[in-house]
Structure 1
Amino acid sequence: MNAEFEIAYLAGGCFWCTEAVFKRVPGVLDVTPGYTGGTIKNPAYREICTGRTGHAEVIRIRFQPAIVSYRELLDLFFMTHDPTTLNRQGHDIGTQYRSAIFTVDQEQEFIALQSIKQWDKAATYSQPIVTQVVPFEVFYPAEVEHKDYFDLHPEQSYCQFVIVPKLEKLKAYLNSL
C-alpha cells in the first residue's frame, strides 16, 4: 500500500449513509459510493436495487493511516450501522444492503476478523455480528446523482431520519477523543 494513503471498501447498508459518515472523519481524503461483490460488470443502480446482481452498495474510502487507522475506520463502521442484521439496515432490505468488509490484502482481512471478534466479545449488540469479510475484487463507482447525496439533499426525510442519527453518533465519538 502507498504510505501516504490506503483504501478501504465497506458496505453498511445504503451508501448515502456510509458516505455521509466517513467523509466527515479526520484523515479520510475522499469517499466514493459504488458497487462491489456481484456478478455483472458495470451495474447500474436500477439493477442493484433488484437484489439479483449480488452487488452490495459500498463506499471506497481513501484515507491517511498516519491520521486514522484501518482499525479505527472499522470501529466507526460498527458504531454507525447494525452489523447484526442479515441483508438489511432498518427499512432497507436486500443483499445490496448487507454488512460487509471487502479486504484488499491479508492484513486488512486479519484486522477485520479481529475487529469482529472484539466487537462480539464486547457484547455491544444483543445479537452476533453477521458482517461478511470478503476479498475485494472490483469496484464500480455509482452514478453521479449518488455522490454527496446527503450534502445535496439534507432536507429529505430519509436523510433526516436515517443519516442524521448516524452523524450524531460520529460527532459524539469524535468529541469524546
Structure 2
Amino acid sequence: MSSDDSAGFTAAYDANYADVLRYVQRRAPASHVDDVVADTFAVAWRRRGALPPEPRAWLFRTASNVMKSTARRESRQQTLAVRAWEPGAGISSGAGTDVDSSLDLITAWRGLSRKDQEAIALHAWEELADTEAATVLGCTRATYTMRLTRAKRRLAQLMNPAHEPAPAERQLQPREGTS
C-alpha cells in the first residue's frame, strides 16, 4: 500500500462522507444507514488505488449497490421466515387523505417506481449533473436524461391525474411496457 493511496482515500472520505451519509439516509431505513455507509467506504478502501479523481458519483453508486445487496439479503431472510412460520395476516398500510399538496406529493412519490424515484432524487436531492447521475445508475447520460424526463412526467401525472396531456405530450409518452 502506498502512502499516496492512503492519502487519496482519506481525502475522498473527508470530502464525501457527509454527502454519502445524506444519500443513504434518504434511501435506507435508519437502522441500516451506518452499516451501508461503513460498507461503502470499506469498498472504497479496498479499491483506493482505483478511485476516480472525483469519487462522489462512484461512492453513490457503491452505496446504491450495498443497499441493493442488503435488500436482497433481507428479502431472502424474510422468505425463509415466511416459509418457516407461515404467518397468516399481512401488514396493512393506512391510506392517508390528500389534505394538501405535501400529502399529494408524498402520495404521488410513493406511486412512482423505485427507478423513477431514484432518477428524480439524484437530480433534485443530490444535485448531480446528468453525467454524474448516469454514473451512479450505470447508464449513459442520454439514457439517464430520458429516464429523468419520463419520471418527472409520471410524477406530474400522479400529482394531477385529471390533467389531459396535450397532443404533443401524448406523442412523447412511452407505450405500455416499454419504459
- Calculate the TM-score normalised by the size of structure 2: 0.21
Q: Which has the higher contact order (CA 8 A, sep 6+)?
A: 1
Q: Which has the larger radius of gyration?
A: 2
Of Structure 1 and Structure 2, which has the larger fraction of its residues in strand? 1
- Calculate the TM-score normalised by the size of structure 1: 0.21
Of Structure 1 and Structure 2, which has the larger fraction of its residues in helix? 2
